[in-house]
Amino acid sequence: MPTIGTVLINAEGLVRARGVRYATASRFAKPEPHEWDGVVDAGERGPACPQPPSALAALVGNSVEGLAFDEHCHVLSVTAPAGASGLPVMVWFHGGAYVTGSGESVKYDCDLLASEGVVVVRVSYRLGVFGYLRDNLGLLDQLTALRWVRDNIAAFGGDPANVTAFGQSAGADSVYALMLTDTEGLFHRAVLQSAPLGTRGPERAEMTAALRSSVSVDASTPADDVLVAQIAVVAEVGPRFGPSGAMPFAPELGEVDLAAAASRVELLVGHTADDGSPYVPSREHWEVVTELIFAGPARQLARDWEAAGGQVATYRFQWAPPGAPLGACHCMELPFLFDPAGWSGAGMLAGHEPDVGLAKTVRGLWAGFARNGMDALPSRSLEFDA
User: Domain range for residue 135?
Assistant: 3-384
Q: What confidence category does residue 8 fall into, taking pLDDT thresholds of 50, 70 and 90? A: low
Q: How much is the average pLDDT of 367-384?
A: 97
pLDDT reported for residue 36: 80
Q: Does residue 143 register a pLDDT over 70?
A: yes
pLDDT reported for residue 3: 54
- Residue with the larger pLDDT of the pair 244 and 142: 142
Can you spell out the DSSP letters for 216-285? ---TTS-HHHHHHHHHHHHHHHGGGGGGGGGS-------S--HHHHHHH-EEEEEEETBTTGGGSSSHHH
pLDDT reported for residue 255: 85
Q: Does residue 297 register a pLDDT over 90?
A: yes
The model carries a pTM of 0.96
Residues in CB range of 374: below 8 A, 6 or more apart: 266, 311, 313, 380
Q: How much is the average pLDDT of 106-125?
A: 97
Q: How much is the average pLDDT of 52-61?
A: 94
Q: Confirm if 329 and 341 have CB atoms less than 8 A apart.
A: no
pLDDT reported for residue 42: 65
pLDDT in tens, 14-51: 999 999 999 999 999 999 999 887 776 667 899 999 99
Q: Does residue 315 register a pLDDT over 90?
A: yes
Q: Provide the CATH number for the domain around residue 257.
A: 3.40.50.1820
Total domains, the chain: 1
pLDDT reported for residue 379: 96
Q: How much is the average pLDDT of 124-143?
A: 96
pLDDT in tens, 320-369: 999 898 999 999 999 999 999 999 999 999 999 999 999 999 999 999 99
Of 162, 159, 161, 188, the C-alpha closest to 175 is 188
